Amino acid sequence: MATVEKLAVHGGPATVKARDHASWPDITDDDRAEVLAVLDRGILCGAESPAITGLEGDWADYLGVEHCIAMSSGTAALHTAIVSVGIRPGDEVIVPAYTYISTAAAVAHHGAVPVFCDIDERTFNIDPARIEERITDRTAAIMPVHVHGLPADMEAIRAIADRHGLAVIEDAAQSHGATYKGRKTGSLGECAGFSLNATKNLSAGEGGLFVTDDPKLFDIARRFSNRGEDVPNLRPGEFRIDSYVSHGLGWNYRSQELPAALARSQLRRLDYYTENAQRNGAILDEGLSALTGVTPPYVPPDRTSVYYKYRVSIDADALGFDGPAAELRDRLIRALRAEGVEALLWQVEPLPAYPAFRRKLYGPWYPNQDDEPLLDWDPAQYPVTVRVLDSSFIIGSEQRPIIIQDGALMRDYLAAFEKVLRNLDALLELPFEPLRFD
Ligand SMILES: Cc1ncc(COP(=O)(O)O)c(C=O)c1O
């Protein structure tokens, strides 16, 4: 007698076991030794910090750029990038409507205005065809984000920037090692910022990396991120009377030895992890392409993705669902999660929908700001972003991303997709409850 297949969300057996997952970041004995060596040396921060200067040199070499400054976060590196290219309060910077808050916050932190631009349906990156309509006489820069670890269309963006005399700042927070026409992200604009947050493909716990080829930008960035002071090249025991002169109002965005040592040690294995992420991406691509109603993320042939996030799109029509796309998305996520797949939401609205950008006086934090009425925002300005976010979701969580999993688990994920899609009718009979960041 044929057995009736029961979805895990209906109480059936899960396809994937939680214990089959590996956790990120992957900490090895080499990492432990490097961190302990910092404690043994006793130098924790400052100008003569071997792990920090080592990481800066290694990262600049890895990208093929002249200068790198290790910082306290990716947000700090992006804020520094905004300042280093000469953006002034009131200037406008074009950023994608789909990204992480820090891209636009880095602009607003300097009193400049983030101007949101819609994205490309297939790459999820800023759509170069929509940039020029956003340019005004106050526009000073374009800030593409290599979202999910896939490079933005940098040649098209550079052509627009050159036509209008704009700087290009890369938000490379998610794209360590990704390439565009053979060149690594972070080496494609005037300057760039990377994140070393624990979820990232290269991680230090928290941290960031500012990079540039331009010595002028490097000097500004170094002072700005060091409370306006020049970093003296002091040797142990040496003292310089002018070392505390501040040449302008800066921030303390400096890195520290412990996270720098960890990141430097992890960097030695970055390419190995990237290859694993790409192998897993290829397994998911092939399996999902064979299914009706789901589409893997698109990687144009002139780029490589490092799959910081793996976004799957759903076609409600092809699946015969005529309700709201977000409902089908949430139902599928719930069912896949019950099967043991790390399926989740990341960003559910375009950035201009966030309260942070809907206050009359956004910028400095002020008490009771939650009491202020929020200004309207216009979803019609960002139709692709809205549509994409309603009809797609992420595979791989921050603690269990695909970069550290094995191929067998990816095949189990595909089996779970097949099972859920085979039983879609039964799934749609469940009462619907929208997901809320669970
Ligand atoms: C696209 C993007 N930009 C900027 C950041 C900010 O980096 P951090 O969290 O290190 O400040 C992140 C990561 O969190 C990010 O994903």
Task: Tell me what the mean pLDDT of segment 373-397 comes to.
Answer: 96
Domains with residue ranges and CATH for the chain = 8-24+270-428 (3.90.1150.10), 29-267 (3.40.640.10)
Residue-averaged pLDDT of the chain: 94
380 pLDDT above the threshold of 60: yes
Instruction: Sort strands 113-117 and 139-142 into parallel, antiparallel or unpaired.
Output: unpaired
Judge contact between 242 and 266, C-beta under 8 A: no
Which residue's alpha carbon is at the smallest distance from atom 7 of ligand 1? Answer: 74
Residues of the chain above pLDDT 70, percent: 95
Give the Cβ contact number of residue 344 at 10 Å. 18
Q: Tell me what pLDDT residue 207 has.
A: 98
Note the pLDDT of residue 57. 98
Given a cut of 50, whether residue 438 has pLDDT beyond it is no
Single pTM value for the model: 0.96
**100: CA distance to ligand 1 center in Å?**
6
Least reliable range by pLDDT among 61-75, 227-241, 418-432: 227-241
pLDDT tens sequence across 110-129: 999 999 999 999 999 999 99
- What is the best residue among 79, 102, 146 to mutate for testing ligand 1's pocket, by most ligand atoms within 8 Å of CB? 102
pLDDT surpasses 50 at 187: yes
> Which atom of ligand 1 is nearest the CA belonging to 76?
11
Can you tell me the distance from the alpha carbon of 157 to that of 144, in angstroms, rounded to the nearest whole number? 8
> Tokens at residue 302, please?
């002139």
How far is the centre of ligand 1, averaged over its atoms, from the C-alpha of 172 (Å)?
A: 9
pLDDT at 316 exceeding the cut of 60: yes
Please give the number of the atom of ligand 1 that sits closest to the Cα of 207.
10
Ligand 1 centroid–CA 147 distance in Å is 10
Residues in CB range of 291: below 8 A, 6 or more apart: 417, 418, 421
Q: What percent of the chain lies above the pLDDT cut of 90?
A: 87
Q: Which residues form ligand 1's pocket by a CB distance below 6 Å? A: 73-75, 78, 99-100, 102-103, 145, 171, 173-174, 195, 197, 208
| CB 128 within 8 Å of CB 122 | no
pLDDT tens-digit profile of 212-255?
999 999 999 999 999 998 876 666 676 666 667 889 999 999 99
Inter-residue contact 206 to 259 (CB < 8 Å) = yes
Mean pLDDT in residue range 331-355? 96
The closest of 201, 193, 182 to 303, measured between CA atoms, is: 182
188 pLDDT above the threshold of 80: yes
Buried b (16+ CB within 10 A) or exposed e, 327-343: bbbbbbbbbbbbbbbbb
CA of 326 to the centre of ligand 1 (A): 25
Q: Tell the residue nearest (CA) to atom 4 of ligand 1.
A: 102
Residue 203 CA to ligand 1 centre (angstroms): 12
pLDDT confidence of residue 369: 80
What pLDDT was estimated at residue 430?
A: 86
* pLDDT at position 437 over 70: no
C-alpha 65 – ligand 1 centre gap (Å) = 21
- Mean pLDDT score, 412-437: 92
Q: How far, in Å, from the CA of 346 to the mean position of ligand 1?
A: 13
Evaluate if residue 64 carries a pLDDT over 70: yes
Q: What is the pLDDT of residue 47?
A: 76
Least confident of 56-65, 224-233, 240-249, 403-412: 240-249
CA of 189 from ligand 1 middle (Å) equals: 18
Q: Six-digit token pair at 400?
A: 């269990």
Q: Which atom of ligand 1 is nearest to the CA of 206?
A: 10
Top mutation candidate among 195, 225, 255 for ligand 1, by most atoms within 8 Å of CB? 195
Tens digits of per-residue pLDDT, 84-118? 999 999 999 999 999 999 999 999 999 999 999 99
pLDDT at 434: 87
Task: Flag whether pLDDT at 290 surpasses 50.
Answer: yes
Q: Which residues partner with 211 through β-bridges?
A: 68, 192
Q: Which of 82, 146, 169, 174 maximizes ligand 1 atoms within 8 Å of its Cβ, making it the mutation to test the pocket?
A: 174
Q: Quick check: 337 pLDDT over 50? A: yes
Under a CB-based contact definition with an 8 Å cutoff, are residues 8 and 18 in contact?
no
pLDDT at 30 over 70: yes
